[in-house]
Chains A and B, each alone.
Chain A
Amino acid sequence: MSRVRVLGIGSPSGDDQAGWLAVEALLGLGVDASQLDRPGANLVSLLAGVDHVILIDAMQGGGAPGQVRRFERHDWRGYDQGLSSHGFGVLDALALAEALGGLPPRLDLYGIEIASAHPGAAPGRAVRTAAVRLAAGIAARLGEAV
């Protein structure tokens, strides 16, 4: 089996915990996964040394909270907006990793649609449910790959 790294990105702000919730559910299913708190450019180093990276993050794409979308490379390739270190996000880090030739052979990027991200607030039910469901799907696919 190829070496897989599962990373859930989030912050302690309401629905923005979506990636962390998916990691918690994956750990409960026996899948090794890590929670990351706004890693910025440090994400680049976490994409190295493995064959397959699964990234789970919150997104605000205008859809219903809890909706899950899987992004393909063409969705974010060419992304080259002005960067600020305060706003150095996942797509910035992926674009930087790509420029450095540091993307893993396989990268699955999942976004969980969120409603609100108030600091200190609990995540909403739709996001909690979606994170558990996404985790189950990922665990099952990883299981099949064994």
Chain B
Amino acid sequence: MPEQKRTVAIQVPVLTRVEGEGALDLRIDDGEISELRLRIFEPPRFFEKFLEGRHYSEIPDMVARICGICPVAYQVTAAQALEALYNVELSPWARAMRRVFYCGEWIQSHSLHIHLLAAPDFFGCSSAIELAKLAPEEVRRGLRLQALGNALMDLFGARSVHPVGVRIGGFHGAPSEARIREMREKLAAALPDAEALIRWTAAIPVPQDDQAFVSVATRHAHDYAIEGGGIAASDGLAIGVEAFDDHFAERHAPHSTALYAAYHGQPYLVGPLARLNLNHDRLPPRIRALLAETGLALPSRNVFHSLVARAVEILLALSEALRLLEGYRVPDSPWVPVTPRAGVAQGCTEAPRGLLWHRYEMDADGCVVNARIVPPTSQNQARIEEDLRLSLMSFGLDHPDDALRLHCEKVIRNYDPCISCATHFLTLNVER
């Protein structure tokens, strides 16, 4: 058809409702995508270089500064890596409270993304403020859940933005039993909100994409993957944290200040849907039953199901925090002593946006010789570009520019990219 033979250039100069600064360039020639680039132009942040020469005791507070939304992920991953190198056996109390602390971050980050960033797209709204006029009760519920996540982070981290509670060997302090009792009451009261949120997100009409991709997430012997376990992929890979470099590689691309990661040379998915695809058998039976009620078949090949996956993980995080805080007692000491030694420390946990891997080469005095941090967004970057290409083909390229732009933004926002973490990204430039 002659009208298909047009040349379209769409540019999104700054993508909104994502964390950090990036852009998208799309060019369609003769009805074919000839160029599609997710351009991350936020300046590189050089965090790994800043860490060199720093003492191990400084690392948790420094890496918390990488992200205002997911500082706990950075702190816990760094602590896990160094504690493994220093042969530190955490007390059962500290081990459980690390998971509780992390649950706070999942609740906060996922609630924020669902309600303030992603959901407006599916209701034809340009912002959460517009969505609030359309679905006030749902937005209020989201804000309540987000505030609860923040409160849980504050409980163990002294504040929810860049918390300072974690130390190598445990925590600096332990909350009182009275504060934990009060928190448990709030967590229990929030369960119906989280259950209703799963039903709400599952009922939101999303594009019916069907794509083949490899899901990568950590996997634990019996718990849903958060802060423990090895690395697994949907093609059967099951490796220890230390074997990451044997299977995953990062590379530079000229248009991005974030590195691209590949699994055996191919794009792959990390994040809530990858986790749910690989770990749904680790969900408590009650949550599995609720998920079955929604009709969501797992593993899912539609990344738009990330929305409901986040809601499922909010309920999981509430349930886990409640379970782990049952019978809470203030420990004799919230931390155990640490003796540094030279060697390589590696750690891997599940940040809200996906797998987060750290590697530190440490000297005998406990100082960093060099550091490498592989955040979720740089791992998803190639997958986002692949998804955009496939999703646009499925959507159809003959839509008006505005519709193409919005579809691209939906795809990108659905990954909840954290460009600030990855630059260490969105302006859409479409040409056709």
User: Which residues of A does B touch, CB under 8 Å?
Assistant: 37-38, 40-42, 44-45, 80-86, 88, 92, 95-96, 99-101
**B146 and A42 form a contact (CB under 8 A):** yes
Q: Which of B91-99, B130-138, B285-293, B357-365 touches A?
A: B130-138
**B16 and A96 form a contact (CB under 8 A):** no
Q: 1/0 contact trace for B1-44 toward A, CB 8 Å? A: 00000000000001011111000000000000000000000000
**B132 and A85 form a contact (CB under 8 A):** no
**A96 and B69 form a contact (CB under 8 A):** no
**A42 and B129 form a contact (CB under 8 A):** no
**A85 and B129 form a contact (CB under 8 A):** no
In-complex Cβ contact of B143 among A37, A45, A84, A92 (8 A): A45
Closest beta carbon of chain B to A34's beta carbon, Å: 13
**A84 and B150 form a contact (CB under 8 A):** no
Can you list 26 A-B pairs, Cβ within 8 angstroms, ordered by A?
A37-B159, A40-B112, A41-B116, A41-B146, A42-B143, A42-B146, A80-B126, A80-B127, A80-B129, A81-B16, A81-B127, A82-B14, A82-B17, A82-B126, A82-B127, A83-B129, A84-B16, A84-B117, A85-B19, A85-B112, A85-B113, A86-B20, A96-B128, A100-B132, A100-B139, A100-B140
Given contacts A99-B129, A99-B136, contact A83 B116 (CB under 8 A): yes
Docked Cα-Cα span, A88 to B161, in Å, equals: 13
Closest beta carbon of chain B to A119's beta carbon, Å: 9
User: Is residue B68 within 8 Å, beta carbon to beta carbon, of the partner chain?
Assistant: yes
In-complex Cβ contact of B130 among A38, A45, A80, A101 (8 A): A80
Docked Cα-Cα span, A95 to B128, in Å, equals: 10
Contacts of A92 in B (CB 8 A): 129
With an 8 Å Cβ cutoff, the count of chain B residues facing the other chain is 30
Q: 1/0 contact trace for B154-192 toward A, CB 8 Å? A: 000001010000000000000000000000000000000
Docked Cα-Cα span, A82 to B409, in Å, equals: 12
Q: For residue A37, which residue of chain B has the nearest CB? A: B161
In-complex Cβ contact of B150 among A42, A83, A85, A95 (8 A): A42
Given contacts A80-B126, A95-B129, contact A86 B136 (CB under 8 A): no
Ranked nearest first, the 5 interchain pairs of A and B with the lowest CB-CB distance are: A82-B16, A99-B132, A95-B129, A99-B129, A99-B133
**B116 and A88 form a contact (CB under 8 A):** yes
Contacts of B132 in A (CB 8 A): 96, 99-100
Docked Cα-Cα span, A92 to B117, in Å, equals: 13
Contacts of B136 in A (CB 8 A): 99-101
**A83 and B147 form a contact (CB under 8 A):** no
User: Which residues of B does A touch, CB under 8 Å?
Assistant: 14, 16-20, 68-69, 112-113, 116-117, 126-130, 132-133, 136, 139-140, 143-144, 146-147, 150, 159, 161, 420
**A83 and B127 form a contact (CB under 8 A):** yes
Q: For residue B409, which residue of chain A has the nearest CB? A: A82
Most chain A CB within a 10 A radius of its CB, from B20, B128, B129? B129
Docked Cα-Cα span, A85 to B67, in Å, equals: 11
Closest beta carbon of chain A to B121's beta carbon, Å: 12
Docked Cα-Cα span, A42 to B112, in Å, equals: 10
Q: For residue A119, which residue of chain B has the nearest CB? A: B65
Contacts of A82 in B (CB 8 A): 14, 16-17, 126-127
Closest beta carbon of chain A to B105's beta carbon, Å: 13
Given contacts A99-B129, A100-B136, A100-B139, contact A86 B19 (CB under 8 A): yes
Contacts of B14 in A (CB 8 A): 82
Contacts of A95 in B (CB 8 A): 129
Identify 14 new A-B residue pairs, CB closer than 8 A, beyond the known A45-B147, A82-B14, A100-B132.
A37-B159, A37-B161, A38-B161, A42-B143, A42-B146, A42-B150, A82-B127, A83-B116, A83-B117, A84-B117, A85-B112, A85-B113, A86-B19, A100-B139
